[in-house]
């Protein structure tokens, strides 16, 4: 059944149904994880993100239930986590390739991508090879979590409380946006993105109970979260170029690429702030503040 609250069902029953559905789906993916390890683990982690977005709806009224269940699924997701920095950097180089056409730097960028792609494949293989125990632990925990779904003390959950929960999550994303300033570190954008994704998932959950709200915010939340994800990937790539430019093993004009990475990342952050202003303040024409050059560029 759909990942959304039916307008006809009782809120508590619908909540339990959706939670059980995502729990069962993640268990099924992990039961067959060796057939396609990367895909199945990624999709299982997505189930946990959807569960945590669902649980955020409880936060204003059922704080204790939220804390206990959210912690459980957060810990399961951490067990299935593995570094994807190299994969993220491959995606970042693809986005840079759309902005650079000078023959020398572009050739160096393509060589960098090839090196990172090989590194990403090797990293993923090593990570997957060592995940058998973690997957087994998560698979053992999921039935225990499923068994207590019916006992969650949410019998009095109402439609009004669900709507309040969705607005609460959206307000947290708005607060993250308003806390950004000219010197906000990458972690602040990452935190903002996390709450944007929860709010995005909730537009699907509440599509029948808050149809106008869901239609209004679904696409903007998705686009803004993706934009911030792209900026985060560039941050990882920039860190690599800063810390070990000579260890890449390729002939690369790394200073040129370093400037390009910082410039594109800065552009994406400015776009995100402009989109956030439009989304949270309803102001289309206001300009985004000028972000300073990140610290690592000041030494160039």
Taking the model in full, what pTM does it have?
0.86
> What is the residue whose two structure tokens read 């087994």?
136
Residue 287 pLDDT:
42
- The yes/no answer on whether domain 1-82+131-156 falls in CATH 1.20.120 is yes
User: Which 3-state string (H, E, C) describes 57-120?
Assistant: CCCCCCHHHHHHHHHHHHHHHHHCCCCCHHHHHHHHHHHHHCCCCCHHHHHHHHHHHHHHHHHH
Beta carbons within 10 angstroms of residue 193's beta carbon: 21
- Alpha carbon 24 to its chain's center: 22
Query: Cα–Cα distance between 209 and 4 in angstroms, integer?
Result: 9
Residue 275 pLDDT:
95
pLDDT tens-digit series, residues 186-238: 899 999 999 999 999 999 999 999 999 999 999 999 999 999 999 888 888 88
Give the tokens for residue 243.
């810390």
Beta carbons within 10 angstroms of residue 64's beta carbon: 9
> Do 221 and 199 touch, CB atoms closer than 8 A?
yes
Q: Which range among 74-78, 85-89, 284-288 has the greatest average pLDDT?
A: 74-78
Predicted confidence (pLDDT) at residue 291 exceeds the cutoff of 60: no
What residue segments make up the domains of the chain, in order of their start? Answer: 1-82+131-156, 84-129+158-289
Work out the percent of the chain whose per-residue pLDDT is above 90. Answer: 56
Predicted confidence (pLDDT) at residue 87 exceeds the cutoff of 90: no
User: Is residue 65 very low, low, confident or very high in pLDDT (cuts 50, 70, 90)?
Assistant: very high
Predicted confidence (pLDDT) at residue 88 exceeds the cutoff of 80: no
Give the tokens for residue 6.
């039916």
Mean pLDDT in the chain? 86
pLDDT tens-digit series, residues 145-166: 999 999 999 999 999 999 999 9
């Amino acid at each position: 059944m759909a990942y959304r609250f039916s307008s006809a069902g009782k809120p508590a029953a619908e909540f339990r149904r959706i939670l059980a559905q995502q729990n069962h789906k993640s268990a099924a993916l992990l039961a067959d994880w060796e057939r396609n390890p990367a895909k199945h683990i990624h999709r299982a982690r997505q189930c946990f993100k959807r569960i945590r977005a669902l649980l955020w709806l409880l936060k204003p009224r059922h704080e204790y239930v939220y804390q206990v269940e959210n912690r459980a699924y957060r810990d399961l997701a951490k067990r299935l986590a593995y570094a994807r920095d190299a994969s993220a950097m491959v995606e970042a180089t693809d986005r840079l390739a759309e902005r650079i056409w000078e023959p020398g730097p572009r050739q160096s960028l393509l060589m960098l991508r090839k090196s990172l792609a090989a590194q990403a494949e090797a990293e993923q293989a090593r990570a997957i090879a060592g995940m058998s125990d973690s997957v087994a632990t998560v698979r053992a925990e999921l039935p225990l979590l499923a068994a207590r779904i019916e006992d969650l003390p949410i019998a009095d959950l109402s439609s009004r409380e669900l709507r309040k929960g969705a607005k609460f999550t959206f307000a947290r994303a708005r607060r993250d946006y308003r806390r950004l300033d000219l010197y906000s570190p990458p972690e602040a954008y990452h935190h903002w993105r996390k709450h944007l994704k929860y709010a995005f998932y909730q537009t699907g959950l509440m599509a029948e109970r808050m149809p106008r709200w869901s239609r209004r915010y679904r696409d903007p939340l998705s686009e803004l979260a993706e934009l911030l994800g792209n900026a985060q990937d560039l941050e990882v790539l920039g860190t690599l170029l800063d810390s070990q430019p000579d260890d890449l093993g390729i002939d690369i004009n790394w200073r040129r690429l370093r400037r390009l990475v910082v410039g594109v990342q800065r552009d994406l952050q400015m776009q995100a702030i402009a989109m956030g202003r439009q989304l949270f303040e309803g102001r289309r024409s206001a300009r985004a503040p000028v972000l300073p050059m990140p610290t690592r560029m000041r030494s160039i």
